[in-house]
Amino acid sequence: MQTYKLKNKLTLTFQKKQSNTVTISISIKTGSNNENSTEKGISHLIEHVLFEGTKTRTQKQISEEIEKTGGELNAQTSNELTTYFATIPKKHFKKTLIILADLIQNPLFLNKKIENERNIILNEIKQINDQPRFYQWILFQKHLFKNHPSKHPIAGYPNTVKNITKQQILNYYNKYYIPNNTTVSIVGDIQNPKDLIEKHFTFKPKPIKEIKPKQEANKQNITSEKRNIQHSYLVLGYKAPSRKSKESYALDILKYYLGYGQSSKLFEEVREKHGLVYEIGTHYEANINYGVFAIYLSTDKKNIPKIKKIILKELNNLQKLTNKQLKQTQEQIQGHFLLKTEDNHFLAEVNSYFSILNQKQDYIKQIKAITLKDIKNVAKKYLNDKYTLTILQQD
């Protein structure tokens, strides 16, 4: 992989890889954690509106020019990043790059389009809140964090989304959509795209101050919310280190050991031995400035006390983990990562992410470097009795 800092301070990562397709990923280093109290949902709203036309292309032209090649165009907003990406047959790379450069730098922000996307997002929020599999995470993060901005949903709240003004959108866009806050990541079998990037990404850098929210300590917090649903949904988790910490790689290993797939410890103990759930898993987000580690499942409410007891027992049993179990899990992660990096889109995202962190992309090397002592220290430090437990409970 090659990384460049261009004249206008835009970051480019490029990995030449034999493939019939090319992925272009453009990450803006802003997301819902950058929003003030009156802007909740603005990052996501801008992500939607950018597809609605530029000074030279309509919404239909943007989508048609890429999709008619067989390509895919999409975007996503997270707490810390907003990312736009396309995967296309490699012969259409240049045309697609020009379209994405236009989309990022020349949005129109027409009033009619803003209102249209605002209404779409308000419906999206209703849909998220109606679906327990999605809402369980809104509920969990709301109670996991006290003052950290990650307690707020990425899509915002109905009252804030309704009241975001066009001027707020323009101010936010002009503040964050600048080259020194942008990383372009490209993976595929093409010539080095540096000159093309410099030619078509011509916006100017501006001073920007990075937001680093204050970290919060874990403490026990148990919350239940009743819903008219058939099953109860449980999330038990912790604030955890960001990807900047070496501890994050130990937690990746614990994520796989405890809850990745049908061979995982919690699947074996909770489902196979006791038949208490259909699905159980672990989730770990090692983000730029914070992390979240959680165990999630759905079950009948009568099973919750027993399941909770089993989970806490298995967290304590991590102190008995053996070298053999560690090596097996490291091998599993290595194989899974190898399979995922066959996908240009995944590889482009990984390269971009480590570039934003100013770290070398040596994920597997870091996983292999974790020792049994590291695992036990991290488990004791983070996966203890200072958990947040949220239950979306059936009536």
Token pair of 289 as six digits:
């400035």
Q: Is residue 209 part of a domain?
A: no
Regarding whether 227 and 139 lie in a shared domain, the answer is: no
Q: Is residue 21 part of a domain?
A: yes
Mean pLDDT throughout 278-305?
96
Mean pLDDT throughout 90-95?
97
- Domain limit, last residue, from 144, 171, 200: 200
Contact by Cβ (8 Å): 148, 214: yes
| Mean per-residue pLDDT over the chain, rounded | 97
Regarding whether 318 and 390 lie in a shared domain, the answer is: yes
Regarding whether 98 and 225 lie in a shared domain, the answer is: no
Statement: residue 242 has pLDDT above 90: yes
Where b means 16+ CB within 10 Å and e means fewer, 68-89 reads: ebebebebebbbbbbbbbbbbe
Contact by Cβ (8 Å): 148, 217: no
- Nearest alpha-carbon partner for 62 in 86, 82, 46: 86
Q: With 0-12 CB in 10 A as exposed, 13-18 as middle and 19+ as buried, what is 299?
A: buried
Bridge partners of 24? 86, 186
Mean pLDDT throughout 148-172?
98
Mean pLDDT throughout 103-113?
97
* Percent of the chain as helix, strand, coil, to the nearest 5: 50, 20, 30
Q: What band does 363 get if pLDDT is binned at 50, 70 and 90? A: very high
Q: Is residue 378 part of a domain?
A: yes
Domain that holds residue 21: 2-200
pLDDT digits (tens, 9 = 90+) for 375-386: 999 999 999 999
DSSP letter assigned to residue 261: S
Mean pLDDT throughout 352-379?
96
Mean pLDDT throughout 323-339?
97
Regarding whether 226 and 194 lie in a shared domain, the answer is: no
Rg for the chain, CA atoms, rounded: 22
Q: Is residue 205 part of a domain?
A: no
Q: Is residue 52 part of a domain?
A: yes
Regarding whether 283 and 177 lie in a shared domain, the answer is: no
37 C-beta neighbours (distance < 10 Å), count: 8
- Domain limit, last residue, from 200, 232, 264: 200
Q: Is residue 207 part of a domain?
A: no
- pLDDT for res 211: 84
Widest CA span of the chain, in angstroms? Answer: 62
Contact by Cβ (8 Å): 60, 113: no
Residue 233 maps to which CATH number? 3.30.830.10
Regarding whether 119 and 254 lie in a shared domain, the answer is: no
Regarding whether 96 and 31 lie in a shared domain, the answer is: yes
Regarding whether 246 and 118 lie in a shared domain, the answer is: no
Regarding whether 282 and 160 lie in a shared domain, the answer is: no
Contact by Cβ (8 Å): 370, 249: yes
pLDDT digits (tens, 9 = 90+) for 199-232: 999 999 999 998 889 999 999 999 999 999 999 9
Residue where the block lists tokens 């488990």: 379
Contact by Cβ (8 Å): 144, 213: no
Q: Which residues, in sequence order, are CB contacts of 85 under 8 Å at separation 6+?
A: 23, 24, 25, 26, 73, 74, 75, 345, 348, 349
Put residue 9 in one of left, alpha, beta given phi > 0 → left and psi -120 to 50 → alpha.
Answer: left
Mean pLDDT throughout 50-58?
95
Q: Is residue 340 part of a domain?
A: yes
Bridge partners of 390? 223, 235
Regarding whether 374 and 304 lie in a shared domain, the answer is: yes
Regarding whether 181 and 245 lie in a shared domain, the answer is: no
- pLDDT for res 210: 87
Backbone phi and psi for residue 156, each to the nearest 5 degrees, phi listed first: 85, -165
Token pair of 221 as six digits:
């917090």
Q: With 0-12 CB in 10 A as exposed, 13-18 as middle and 19+ as buried, what is 395?
A: exposed
Regarding whether 173 and 70 lie in a shared domain, the answer is: yes
- Nearest alpha-carbon partner for 238 in 381, 81, 32: 381
- Nearest alpha-carbon partner for 33 in 83, 78, 100, 67: 78
Residue where the block lists tokens 């919060």: 216
CA angle 286–84–113, rounded 5-degree value: 125
> Where do the H-state alpha helices sit in the chain?
42-49, 59-67, 93-105, 111-130, 132-144, 158-163, 166-176, 194-200, 247-259, 265-266, 304-316, 323-340, 344-356, 363-369, 372-382
| Residue at 296: amino acid letter | Y
- Domain limit, last residue, from 171, 200, 229: 200
The domain total for the chain is 2
Q: Is residue 210 part of a domain?
A: no
DSSP letter assigned to residue 335: H
Statement: residue 147 has pLDDT above 90: yes
CA-to-CA distance for 38 and 337, rounded, in angstroms?
A: 40
- Nearest alpha-carbon partner for 361 in 346, 372, 378: 346
Statement: residue 108 has pLDDT above 90: yes
Where b means 16+ CB within 10 Å and e means fewer, 303-339 reads: bbeebbebbeebbeebeebeeebbeebbebbeeeeee
